[in-house]
């Protein structure tokens, strides 16, 4: 099966999945993942994927059933001069934790984000990140779109669990893909565009309206 066919058949595989759910909630989470998965777009010309937030948010807004609730979307741009990868990961994790409050362990979230940035080659092979060269003539900056999904138990609503669909566009003064070899201590003029949506998903989610 070709790379394109793999993700055409199972587009949710283009989102890195991190779950803390008990086994009883896993079937509902698997069904829900097909929802954001539908909005991972594949470009036939470039062979790259990207997440279509405009269409996904529109679909969420018009979703008719009660098996999804409490949608909350947040977006920010974090720009830092001469900062390390570890610091960027901490700032992104702090933003997600402060604004969405899904109950994720902050240190674990920081570690997950940093591991994504420091293993871009492996994540690309997995299909959950994509490299984008600069579109501006004369600039050395390039970027990666990283797609992540977190599923966690909801301590307040036992019949629901929390999901956080997130994209991070990490940009730096790095010209080509091969030079993106990052470590926690790597310093650059980084910029991160972070988009994330929190939603409560019912344990009885059937996916009838996706």
Torsion of CA 162, 210, 44, 115, to 10 degrees: 10
pLDDT at 49: 94
The predicted model scores a pTM of 0.94
Q: Which residues contact 161 (CB under 8 A, 6 or more apart)?
A: 21, 25, 28, 29, 151, 152, 153, 154, 200, 201, 203
The DSSP line for 145-196 is: EEEEEEEEE-SS-TTEEEEEEEEEEEEES--SGGG----TT-EEEEEEEEEE
Residue (of 58, 68, 86, 61) closest to 29 by Cα position: 68
pLDDT at 134: 85
> Percent of the chain scored above 90 by pLDDT?
76
pLDDT at 210: 73
Q: How is residue 35 written in tokens?
A: 């929802």
> Percent of the chain scored above 70 by pLDDT?
97
pLDDT at 108: 95
pLDDT at 45: 87
pLDDT at 97: 93
Instruction: Read off the pLDDT of residues 13-70 as tens digits, 9 standing for 90 and up.
Output: 999 999 999 999 999 999 999 999 999 999 888 889 999 999 999 999 999 888 999 8
**CATH H-level, domain 22-202: superfamily:** Delta-endotoxin CytB-like (3.40.198.10)
Residue 209 has pLDDT above 80, yes or no: no
Beta 16-19 vs 142-153: how paired, if at all?
parallel
Q: Report d(CA 121, CA 102) in Å as an integer.
A: 29
DSSP code, position 64: -
Q: Report d(CA 106, CA 90) in Å as an integer.
A: 9
Q: Report d(CA 81, CA 88) in Å as an integer.
A: 10
- CB count, 10 Å around CB of 156? 8
| Mean pLDDT value across the chain | 92
pLDDT at 3: 61
DSSP code, position 40: E
């Amino acid at each position: 099966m070709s790379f394109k066919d793999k993700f055409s058949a199972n587009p949710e595989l283009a989102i890195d999945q991190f779950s803390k759910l008990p086994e009883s909630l896993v079937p509902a989470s698997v069904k829900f993942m097909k929802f954001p998965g539908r909005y991972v777009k594949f470009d036939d010309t470039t062979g790259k994927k990207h997440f279509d937030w405009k269409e996904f948010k529109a679909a969420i807004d018009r979703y008719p059933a009660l098996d999804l609730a409490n949608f909350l979307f947040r977006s920010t741009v974090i720009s830092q001069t001469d900062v390390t990868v570890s610091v960027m990961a901490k700032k992104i994790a702090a933003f997600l934790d402060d604004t969405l409050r899904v109950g994720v362990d902050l240190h674990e979230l920081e570690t997950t984000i940093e591991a994504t940035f420091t293993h871009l080659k492996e994540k690309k092979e997995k299909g959950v990140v994509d490299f984008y060269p600069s579109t501006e003539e004369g600039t050395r900056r390039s970027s990666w779109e990283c797609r992540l999904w977190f599923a966690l138990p909801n301590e307040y609503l036992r019949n629901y669990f929390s999901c956080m669909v997130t994209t991070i566009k990490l940009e730096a003064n790095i010209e080509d893909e091969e030079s993106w070899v990052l470590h926690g201590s790597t310093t650059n003029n980084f910029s991160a565009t972070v988009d994330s949506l929190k939603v409560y998903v019912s344990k009885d989610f059937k996916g009838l309206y996706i």
